[in-house]
Amino acid sequence: MHRPLFLEGEAGVGKTALAHALAEVTGRPMYRLQCYEGLEASQALYDWDFGRQLLHLRAAEAAGSGGDTAELEAGLYDRRFLLARPLLQALEDAPSVLLVDEIDRADDEFEAFLLELLSDFTISIPELGTVRAAVPPLVVLTSNRTREVHDALKRRCLYHWLEHPDFEREVAILRSRLPQVTEELARQVARATAKLRSLDLLKPPGIAEAMDWATALHTLGARELDPDTAARTLGAVLKYREDTDRVHALTRGALFG
Ligand SMILES: Nc1ncnc2c1ncn2[C@@H]1O[C@H](COP(=O)(O)OP(=O)(O)O)[C@@H](O)[C@H]1O
Ligand SMILES: [Mg+2]
């Protein structure tokens, strides 16, 4: 449908991973734009390479071909002095996958700009002309929902809420990503991680934390996740002091093992 996929869900549920997987199964190159506060169009689209332009001028000067200023100036806006950023790269290298990651971190102006780009997939560069994607990219937008993204942008997209994986899927992910970890340990880590998620913590653990936990246990040579080992390795899975305190305060035997 040439509509962007808008993925929302807590941090660590696999939104970014989904875009990577999409690029892998379609065999397309992926371009990722990581959003942040203050992100501007120039960082997302293109920039002129000032350093190389200057070098070009110096070289022309040294060669003594300083004559025609207009020609020299025009030569500065050649494609080879253009630094393509992810959005332009995704259009130029079509068909591609474009990941606009954590759009909730960018501000309103950038969202409005993105909305425009996503409606016609063209970029106009005053000095060069218009770039249009031969085939529109598969676009994945993600949000950790630290704020609500505007309705206008959502309306353009197909929406999907991503949950934490269920127990069997998490075990499968741990097994495929960490083949060195035993099935039993993977199951125990998945079970304990699911329990932690049900505790209404400040930062419920994502899949990355479950993988870190399993790796830590494996590295320590632990064969199973008993309450004592769990308590000593909690730093792999919880990243807030309040969360760690709460889990320690609960009867550990009931939570792990
Ligand atoms: N379905 C999955 N299969 C394999 N690995 C996954 C899957 N979902 C997530 N992961 C892994 O879990 C970790 C966290 O996922 P990530 O995409 O960074 O989460 P998010 O972008 O939602 O914060 C990554 O290391 C990712 O590779
Ligand atoms: Mg992510």
256 pLDDT tier (thresholds 50, 70, 90):
low
Strands 82-84 and 46-48: antiparallel
C-alpha 141 to ligand 2 mean position (Å): 10
- Nearest CA residue ID for atom 15, ligand 1: 14
Where are the domains positioned within the chain? Answer: 5-161, 167-256
E-state strands within 29-96:
30-34, 46-48, 82-84
Atom of ligand 1 nearest to the CA of 7: 22
- CATH 3.40.50.300 for domain 5-161, yes or no, is yes
C-alpha 12 to ligand 2 mean position (Å): 7
Angle value at C-alpha 6, between 136 and 3, nearest 5 degrees: 30
Express each pLDDT in 177-232 by its tens digit. Answer: 999 999 999 999 999 999 999 999 999 999 999 999 999 999 999 988 998 899 89
For residue 178 the two structure tokens come to: 């960490």
C-alpha 66 to ligand 1 mean position (Å): 55
pTM passes above 0.75: yes
* Cβ(90) – ligand 1 distance below 6 Å: no
The separation between the first and the last C-alpha atoms of the chain, rounded to the nearest angstrom, is 47
For residue 149 the two structure tokens come to: 């993204």
* Cβ(164) – ligand 1 distance below 6 Å: no
Q: Where are the alpha helices (DSSP H) in 77-166?
A: 86-92, 108-120, 151-156
Task: Provide mean pLDDT across the span 21-29.
Answer: 98
Q: Can you state the angle between helices 167-177 and 183-197, rounded to 10 degrees?
A: 130
